[in-house]
Amino acid sequence: MKQNIIHIATRKSPLALKQTAAVLECLGEAMPDQCFESLELTTQVDQRLKWSLEKRGGIGLFTKELEEALLEGRADLAVHSAKDMPTTTPEGLAVAGYLPRARANDCLIRQKNCADPALIATSSPRRRAQLGKRFPHAEWSTIRGNVGTRLKKIVDGACEASILAAAGLDRLEISQFEGLVFEMLSFEEMVPAPGQAAIAIQCREEALETYAHLFCERTKIAVSLEKGFLKRLGSGCQIPVGAYYHEDTFHIFHPETGYRAFNLDIQKPEDIEPTLDRILKDLQL
């Protein structure tokens, strides 16, 4: 009997392919008798490098084509960076789970001889709002492209500094680049985006029971709390909000409250909504 192949939709960027390889390894160990195959797709946002992600809303731009492949039956699973996913899931789809999370810090990358950069490139209002406290006189620009392209652009003078997620650098095994300094930012200085550093696996709703038990429950609780906080605020990634739950501490950045930290002990998904009720009441948001 011919074995059915489970097709996994992914973007074609080097980082997306690395993340998909990690998912394939996880599924291969959990379902050794099953055959998996990548379905590499190009999204509109990958093709249009001149697009302003901030003006176009950011969240959902990197997931649309992969979700369409799921809904049309061309793919059975899709791999996303959790921070790129909207706080609501299209009808008929569900998040099956997440791989164990990588380190979620943001990394300031600057030219070697530029300790106080005057031109910093980032399309993220969250990063601008937080790093602007350290560099109040800096001007802001944007650069697009994959990680390697962005690093080269910094060296070539398109900007003096930029900010990238440490998880992406780790997955691409990039810890240094000639002419640049890498500085890991603390959570107090730069609260990550909700879902940052987590790899999400999406499926059709009817297949949820097949996959949900295969992934990391702790990461699921953390990302659900962070995305739930964002959803309660009615915010997408173009609002300067940071939220990160790690080792029983919920780190939050909001432009009206600044940095805040809450000690929490969330053991199960049912604890999330009442916890958010208390936090939002405390923050008066």
Mean pLDDT across 55-72:
77
What value does the mean pLDDT take over residues 217-242?
A: 89
pLDDT reading at 77 higher than 80: yes
Q: Read off the pLDDT of each residue in 270-282 and give the average, rounded to a whole number.
A: 95
pLDDT of residue 145: 86
44 has pLDDT over 70: no
- pLDDT given for residue 35 in this prediction: 95
Cα 42 from chain centroid (whole Å): 18
* pLDDT of 4 strictly over 50: yes
**pLDDT at residue number 2:** 44
Between 223 and 235, whose confidence is greater?
223
| Confidence at residue 234, expressed as pLDDT on a 0 to 100 scale | 83
Which residues lie closer than 8 Å to 29 by C-beta, 6 or more apart? none
Percent of the chain having pLDDT more than 90? Answer: 84
The confidence band for 61, taking pLDDT boundaries of 50, 70 and 90, is low
- Domains delineated in the chain: 5-102+193-283 (3.40.190.10), 106-184 (3.40.190.10)
- Please determine, for residue 90, whether its predicted confidence score (pLDDT) is greater than 90: yes
Question: What are the DSSP E strand ranges found in the chain?
Answer: 5-11, 35-41, 77-81, 93-98, 106-111, 119-121, 139-141, 161-165, 180-184, 199-204, 242-246, 249-254, 258-263
- Please list the active-site residues: 84
Predicted local distance difference test score (pLDDT) of residue 235: 63
Strands 119-121 and 93-98: unpaired
Choose among 181, 178, 166, 190: nearest CA to 244.
Answer: 190
Integer Cα distance of 180 and 183 in angstroms: 10
For the chain, give the percent of residues with pLDDT over 70: 91
pLDDT over 50 at 75, yes or no? yes
**Average pLDDT value for residue range 160-167:** 97
Average pLDDT, the chain: 91
Q: Looking at the DSSP assignment, which residues form a beta bridge with residue 183?
A: 108
- Higher pLDDT among residues 44 and 144, named by residue: 144
Q: CA triplet 93, 95, 98: central angle to 5 degrees?
A: 160
Decide if 254 contacts 283 (C-beta within 8 A): yes
Residue whose C-alpha is closest to residue 193's, from 245, 143, 255 = 245
